[in-house]
A and B are shown apart, each in its own frame.
Chain A
Amino acid sequence: MDILTAALPLSYFSEFPQKFYDAFILKNRYTNILFGLGNTLMITFFAVIIGIILGTVVALVKVTHNNDKSKLKFLNAVCSVYLTVIRGTPVVVQLMIMWYIVFQPPVNLDRVVAAIFAFGINSGAYVAEVIRSGIQSVDKGQVEAGRSLGLNQRDTMVKIVFPQALKNVLPAIGNEFIALLKETSVAGYIAIQDLTKGGDIIRSITYDPYTSLLAVAGIYLLIVMGLTALLSKLERRLHRSDNR
């Protein structure tokens, strides 16, 4: 009990209205959170799009090469290096490299764009592995049935294999995007004011860590819960064909 009261003084609760006022309402400090939330959502949204596109392309290259070793040798090597490097280095380091090295003049772009690219490229590596496992989980007979009808390899992939693969890996992809949302909290490393940074700014003004940081945590939690609900809805839709 002593430890608990030391960590969170009981007086906090009686003073909560004042603390809340100081943290968010006084001098419109809530705008720090709102502005940060906007950046977090924007970075996550566009990074997810880059991640899906990149991940799908890399997965298709790897699967095509695996099926026929003589095909796409060079591209497959490039993809392997990409996967190894991205999965083998911390995302914060990738983020800083993107901003302090890649996005230096003459590249004149916003640091948020740098973050979008850094997180998107990072996410793509994980999405690629997820999608590849999904494609490989589809029964070989499906490809044979498609090809026996005269469909070429591309149409068979797009119309038969890929929709089934996506259905199988949707939970894993959803996880990946929830992780990505939370990973963007390190965007402050390149001085982007995201949700986390916004809360931290308020903390440094009010010297009250509880209100601001717990509020930030609560907002992340709400977004993730919303995303989870959305994903399970989508999953149910995709599993319509499983109803007997």
Chain B
Amino acid sequence: MITVKNLHKTFQTLNGDLDVLKGIDQNIEKGEKVVIVGPSGSGKSTFLRCLNLLEQPTGGEVWFEGVQINVPECDINQLRQKMGMVFQHFNLFPHLTVLQNITLAPITLKLKTQEQAEQQAKQLLERIGLADKAEAYPLQLSGGQKQRIAIVRALAMNPDVMLFDEPTSALDPEMVGEVLQVMKELAAEGMTMVVVTHEMGFAREVANRVLFMDDGQVLEEAVPDQFFDHPQNPRLQDFLSKVL
């Protein structure tokens, strides 16, 4: 579904060029749940953001559903409709109600009428137990509620894949569980997911494949049991000894 070939990303900073991604090759199949872990600054988030071109790769190819997307001819807006994204800081639209947050994109893009969009939004809110918050504004919600709404906002576009960029890192500890629960249900329904996270328990439970990134490269990838119980790379062993 998503194929990445020799992906490079270099940021130009005042202190010279910064190589964040140094050649990544990955193939993510339909229905697969891939979890990416690694230390801060390893390039995990940048890699994820390259998948829907929030960051423009400086080298290599990104293919999505048989189309190369990092070429000028590609209509990225069209493809992003099929790639939902959830951010660390939720990024709900503070000037809109919860319902409007969810229906904005489907209505603006004329994928649904207002009634259809609102009906779907209410069903989605029902599913995460926040139907009573439809008319609330984001500022009136807790972090966990905001993130769950951010997830269904992305789901309202009926995406083929969901990208999660540290979805629980900005949450109070007691709210992490409710967000992970929504993500687990989503995984159980067969959604293709790429998740950058520090939640090792989630990775072990949900992932088909765990990637360890450091210094702009994928140093190890394996099924969860092998990844966590028998890590091969010394840097992964060191990393796991610190976080587990």
Contact = CB atoms under 8 A, between A and B. Distances in A.
A164 B105 contact: no
Interface stretch (B75-83, B214-222, B230-238): B75-83
A63 interface: no
Kindly name the residue among B80, B89, B94, B109 whose own CB sees the greatest number of chain A CB atoms within 10 A: B94
Contacts of B150: 145
Contact of B54 (A144, A151, A155, A240): A144
A142 interface: yes
Give the secondary structure class of A's interface.
helix
Chain B CB within 10 A, most for which of A139, A142, A149, A243: A149
Given A145-B150, A148-B154, 11 more contacts: A145-B85, A145-B91, A145-B92, A146-B105, A148-B80, A148-B83, A150-B81, A151-B77, A155-B108, A242-B139, A244-B140
Contact of B105 (A141, A144, A150, A167): A150
Contacts of A242: 94, 137, 139
A144 B89 CA distance: 11
A144 B86 CA distance: 10
16 contacts: A145-B93, A146-B93, A147-B77, A148-B84, A149-B80, A149-B81, A149-B84, A149-B105, A149-B153, A151-B77, A151-B108, A160-B104, A241-B96, A241-B137, A241-B138, A244-B139
Contacts of A142: 91, 93
Contacts of B242: none
A144 B80 contact: no
Contacts of B77: 147, 150-152
B78 A150 contact: yes
Interface in B153-170: 153-154, 157
B192 to A, nearest CB: 16
Contact of A150 (B89, B95, B140, B157): B157
Contacts of A171: none
Q: Contact size class for A? A: 20 to 34
Contacts of B83: 148
A69 interface: no
B157 A241 contact: no
B94 A241 contact: yes
Contacts of A145: 85, 87, 91-93, 150
B70 interface: no
Interface in B84-121: 84-85, 87, 89, 91-97, 104-105, 108-109
Contacts of A141: 87, 89, 91
Contact of B93 (A147, A152, A160, A240): A160
A159 interface: yes
Interface string A169-183: 000000000000000
B95 A241 contact: yes
A242 B89 CA distance: 18
A243 B81 CA distance: 32
A149 B154 CA distance: 7
Contacts of A244: 139-140
Interface string A117-148: 00000000000000000000001011011111
Given A144-B91, A160-B93, A241-B95, A150 B85 contact: no
Contacts of A241: 94-97, 137-139
Nearest to B101: A145
Contacts of A159: 104, 108
B94 to A, nearest CB: 6
Given A241-B139, A243-B137, A147 B54 contact: yes
A38 interface: no
B109 A151 contact: yes
